[in-house]
């Protein structure tokens, strides 16, 4: 039965009880009212009539006694009228009492009263007649002998009748009191029964509501606490049954949604592998001293596969590689996809030797050729490995160290690298310097220093390389090695380079106006070279400063061409078309120098200091530099030997027809005003010697 039906039935029963109590109470009140009215109208009337019989009989007797004392007839006439009236009233009262006002127990007394009254009336009349005929004295004797006795008997019987009537009235009053008490008891009993039944119904209904409500609250609390296995009493057929069934359905829906959300939050949707968040939880839950290795894999040439065969093939490739990695792991090990083409593998390894053996086995399985849509694909990976607890104890540090090792492996293209073999992580003070670079740029704390490039054949200063310096208000002069690499890594170099270009172009334009023939070289990073606004920005600077394009040289490294060779080559051709000079910096330290020299539209090549140092005393260095000079001479390129520090190195370079030399052996980098003064002084000294 539904709660609504139960409540309706309970209220109906309570209403019926209330109506019953009201009907019984009204019935009893009507009975009591009728009895009271009967008692007042009937019994009081009988008592009153009995009293009237007595009163008028006594009044008539008193009148007779007065008559017996009155000797004159004219004085007796008024007394006759009063006695007749009293006797008539007494007779009427007797008749009324006899007309159905008396009960069975009162009728005998009433019969005696009526009989004695009749005889008394006869004696009374006889006494009156005797007074008028025989005189007062004989009448007085007759009254005393007969009439007076009947009068006393009549009065006695009347009092007896009155007593009987009074007793009956008392009995009826007692019966009325008893009936009133009975009616009160019945009403109280019915009211008590109604209250008891109401309380019972309230308890039953309350229990029928509170119990399932508690069950619903408990179930809701379990759902809120994440417990989706609590039993649901679904046997009820009322509204609470519907509520519990709805909660059961809601619980299933929430559990299903949470499962989906957990899968989204912790599972990579492409490969079905755990994601980075799940891996970090797994790392954090590892036993404190248990030895593990974390390897981060970056799939080589994945971008080329994506571009050549499409993202659909790339996605299937990632799924297959993830499945391969997972297939080769033990139960205690784990693989996760971090993002893009990067995977992380957590495996047991007691030391570096064990980790290397385990890693070789994983990579061997990964390198097996696979076929997608008939296309054979050979893949490899660069890997960074961090050991726990040797390299790091907590999850975040272990992940960071593995990433640093991966970057080292990609730079050296050596397959994999261990975190223990790479340089230390950036120090906190270095990180704080990175945070202060933007403020330094807006606060004009950066400066450009210029290092001369000496023309060995003409003994003149033909150019200068612009080198950035940071004059920190608290730390003093900060060397570029402490902030430039981090600026390149974080991308802030794209804000520093435009500032350096503007300052270098402005200084070069000033020297041009002063008649100095100086070519200013500015270094471009990989991020700068791939900036799509690079060519338009340089063209705008040249137009605004009216600097001859040939007086600006842009130096690039081979690594700047690696990320997007097509875009980088396109920008270099556009810059060359503007009339700028282009230079390859750090020549000889890359992996494909000759290939780039052949295709790049460059004008100058800078031999790295690693080969210039000791060139006058090291045959191998001398052979490399000599062959480079010959190659550039055949290709029509100017050669700059950087890092020359000794007179012997400079003399050897001059003897071997090197075009330009740069290094501490010529001059250290200096601020723009000092550089101009140094150039003018060098020109004056050269003129004197000549």
DSSP-assigned letters across all residues of 5-58 = HHHHHHHHHHHHHHHHHHHHHHHHHHHHHHHHHHIIIIIHHHHHHHHHHHHHHH
What is the model's pLDDT at position 655? 94
User: Has residue 230 been placed in a domain?
Assistant: no
Residue by residue, DSSP assigns 105-144 as TTHHHHHHHHHHHHHHHHHHHHHHHHHHHT-HHHHHHHII
What is the model's pLDDT at position 499? 94
What is the model's pLDDT at position 452? 96
- Best-predicted range by mean pLDDT (304-313, 368-377, 516-525): 516-525
Q: What is the pTM of this model?
A: 0.51
Mean pLDDT rounded to a whole number for the chain: 82
Q: Tell me the per-residue pLDDT of 25-47, one tens digit each, with 9 for 90 and over.
A: 777 667 767 666 666 566 666 66
Of residues 207 and 499, the one with the higher pLDDT is 499
pLDDT band at 394 (very low <50, low <70, confident <90, very high): confident
Q: Are 406 and 359 in a shared domain?
A: yes
Q: Tell me the per-residue pLDDT of 487-496, one tens digit each, with 9 for 90 and over.
A: 887 788 888 9
Residue 358 CA to residue 365 CA, distance in Å, equals: 11
Q: Are 385 and 507 in a shared domain?
A: no
Q: Are 390 and 501 in a shared domain?
A: no
Q: Are 576 and 643 in a shared domain?
A: yes
Of residues 383 and 248, the one with the higher pLDDT is 383
Q: Which tokens is 464 given?
A: 């200068």
Number of domains in the chain: 3
Of residues 634 and 163, the one with the higher pLDDT is 634
- Best-predicted range by mean pLDDT (65-74, 123-132, 166-175, 383-392): 383-392
User: Has residue 215 been placed in a domain?
Assistant: no
Give me the CATH number covering residue 83.
1.20.120.1730
Give me the CATH number covering residue 378.
3.30.70.270
Phi, psi of 416 (to 5 degrees): -145, 160
What is the model's pLDDT at position 469? 93
> 298, 342 in Cβ contact below 8 A?
yes
Q: Which residues have CB under 8 Å from 382's CB, separation 6+? A: 297, 298, 300, 406, 409, 410, 413, 415, 416
> 453, 660 in Cβ contact below 8 A?
yes
Residue 226 CA to residue 231 CA, distance in Å, equals: 14
Which domain-ending residue is among 168, 194, 220?
194
> 425, 404 in Cβ contact below 8 A?
yes
Quote the distance between the C-alpha of residue 453 and its chain's center.
65
Q: Which tokens is 424 given?
A: 């230390």
Q: Are 306 and 369 in a shared domain?
A: yes
Q: Tell me the per-residue pLDDT of 603-624, one tens digit each, with 9 for 90 and over.
A: 999 998 989 999 999 999 999 9
Give me the CATH number covering residue 633.
3.20.20.450
What is the model's pLDDT at position 128? 80
Phi, psi of 415 (to 5 degrees): 90, -70
User: Has residue 267 been placed in a domain?
Assistant: no
User: Has residue 474 been placed in a domain?
Assistant: yes
Name the one residue in this structure whose structure tokens are 């006393």. Answer: 152
User: Has residue 270 been placed in a domain?
Assistant: no
Q: Are 453 and 360 in a shared domain?
A: no
Q: Are 495 and 549 in a shared domain?
A: yes
Q: Which residues have CB under 8 Å from 247's CB, separation 6+? A: 216, 219, 220, 223, 232
Which domain-ending residue is among 159, 194, 229?
194
Predicted confidence (pLDDT) at residue 567 exceeds the cutoff of 80: yes
Question: Which stretches of 290-364 are assigned E, i.e. beta strand?
Answer: 292-299, 334-339, 342-348
User: Has residue 221 been placed in a domain?
Assistant: no
Quote the distance between the C-alpha of residue 319 and its chain's center.
34
pLDDT band at 7 (very low <50, low <70, confident <90, very high): low
Q: Are 486 and 632 in a shared domain?
A: yes
Q: Which residues have CB under 8 Å from 237's CB, separation 6+? A: 1, 2
Name the one residue in this structure whose structure tokens are 């109604």. Answer: 194
Q: Are 305 and 402 in a shared domain?
A: yes
User: Has residue 213 been placed in a domain?
Assistant: no
Residue by residue, DSSP assigns 623-647 as HHHHHHHHHHHHHT-EEEEE---SH
Give the single-character DSSP code of 481. G
Q: Are 499 and 602 in a shared domain?
A: yes
User: Has residue 199 been placed in a domain?
Assistant: no
Q: Are 180 and 328 in a shared domain?
A: no
Q: Are 404 and 501 in a shared domain?
A: no
For the CA atoms of 554, 557, 563, 566, what is the dihedral angle to 10 degrees? 50
Phi, psi of 384 (to 5 degrees): -115, 130
Q: Which domain holds residue 407?
A: 276-418
What is the model's pLDDT at position 388? 82
What is the model's pLDDT at position 592? 45
What is the model's pLDDT at position 485? 81
Which domain-ending residue is among 131, 162, 194?
194
Quote the distance between the C-alpha of residue 505 and its chain's center.
55
């Amino acid at each position: 039965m539904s709660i609504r039906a139960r409540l309706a039935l309970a209220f109906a029963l309570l209403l019926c009880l209330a109506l019953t109590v009201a009907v019984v109470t009204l019935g009893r009140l009507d009975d009591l009212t009728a009895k009271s009215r009967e008692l007042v109208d009937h019994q009081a009337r009988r008592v009153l009539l009995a009293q009237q019989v007595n009163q008028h009989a006594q009044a008539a007797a008193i009148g007779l006694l007065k008559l017996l004392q009155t000797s004159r007839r004219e004085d007796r006439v008024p007394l006759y009228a009063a006695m007749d009236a009293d006797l008539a009233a007494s007779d009427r009262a007797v008749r009324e009492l006899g007309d159905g006002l008396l009960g069975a127990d009162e009728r005998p007394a009433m019969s005696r009263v009526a009989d004695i009254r009749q005889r008394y009336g006869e004696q009374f009349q006889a006494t009156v007649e005797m007074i008028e005929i025989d005189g007062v004295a004989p009448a007085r004797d007759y009254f005393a002998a007969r009439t007076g006795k009947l009068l006393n008997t009549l009065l006695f019987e009347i009092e007896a009748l009155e007593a009987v009537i009074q007793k009956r009235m008392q009995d009826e009053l007692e019966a009325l009191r008893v009936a009133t008490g009975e009616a009160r008891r019945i009403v109280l009993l019915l009211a008590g029964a109604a209250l008891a039944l109401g309380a019972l119904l309230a308890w039953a209904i309350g229990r029928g509501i509170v119990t399932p409500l508690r069950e619903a609250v408990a179930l809701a609390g379990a759902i809120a606490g994440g417990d989706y296995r609590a039993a649901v009493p679904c046997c009820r057929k009322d509204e609470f049954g519907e509520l519990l069934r709805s909660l059961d359905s809601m619980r299933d829906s929430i559990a299903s949604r949470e499962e989906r959300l957990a899968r989204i939050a912790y599972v990579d949707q492409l490969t079905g592998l755990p994601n980075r968040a799940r891996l970090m939880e797994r790392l954090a839950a590892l036993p404190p001293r248990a030895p593990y290795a974390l390897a981060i894999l970056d799939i080589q040439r994945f971008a080329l596969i994506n571009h050549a065969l499409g993202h659909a093939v790339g996605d299937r490739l990632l799924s297959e590689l993830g499945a391969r990695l997972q297939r080769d792991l033990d139960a205690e090990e784990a693989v996760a996809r971090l993002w893009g083409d990067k995977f992380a593998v957590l495996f047991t390894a007691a030391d570096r030797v064990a980790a290397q053996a385990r890693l070789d086995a994983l990579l061997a399985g990964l390198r097996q050729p696979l076929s997608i849509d008939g296309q054979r694909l050979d893949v490899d990976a660069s890997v960074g490995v961090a050991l726990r607890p040797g390299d790091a104890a907590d999850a975040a540090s272990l992940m960071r160290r593995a990433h640093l090792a991966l970057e080292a492996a990609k730079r050296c293209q050596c397959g994999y690298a261990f975190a223990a073999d790479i340089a230390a992580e950036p120090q906190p003070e270095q990180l704080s310097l990175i945070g202060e670079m933007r403020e330094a740029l807006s606060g004009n704390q950066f400066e450009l220093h210029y290092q001369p490039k000496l023309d060995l054949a003409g003994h003149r200063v033909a150019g200068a390389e612009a080198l950035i310096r940071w004059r920190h208000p608290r730390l003093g002069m900060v060397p570029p090695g402490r902030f430039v690499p981090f600026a390149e890594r974080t991308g802030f170099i794209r804000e520093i380079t435009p500032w350096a270009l503007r300052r270098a172009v402005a200084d070069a334009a000033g020297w041009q106006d002063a008649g100095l023939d100086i070519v200013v070289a500015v270094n471009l990073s990989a991020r700068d070279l791939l900036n799509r606004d690079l060519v338009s920005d340089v063209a705008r600077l040249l137009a605004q400063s009216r600097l001859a394009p040939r007086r600006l040289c842009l130096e690039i490294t081979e690594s700047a061409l690696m990320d997007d060779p097509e875009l980088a080559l396109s920008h270099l051709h556009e810059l060359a078309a503007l009339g700028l000079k282009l230079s390859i910096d750090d020549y000889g330290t890359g992996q494909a120098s000759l290939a780039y020299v052949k295709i790049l539209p460059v004008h100058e090549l800078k031999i790295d200091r690693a080969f210039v140092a000791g060139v006058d005393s090291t045959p191998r260095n001398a052979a490399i530099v000599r062959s480079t000079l010959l190659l550039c001479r055949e290709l029509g390129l100017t050669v700059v030997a950087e890092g020359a520090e000794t007179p012997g190195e400079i003399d050897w370079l001059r003897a071997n027809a090197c075009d330009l030399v740069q290094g501490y052996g010529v001059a250290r980098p200096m601020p723009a005003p000092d550089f101009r003064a140094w150039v003018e002084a060098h020109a004056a000294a050269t003129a004197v010697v000549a």
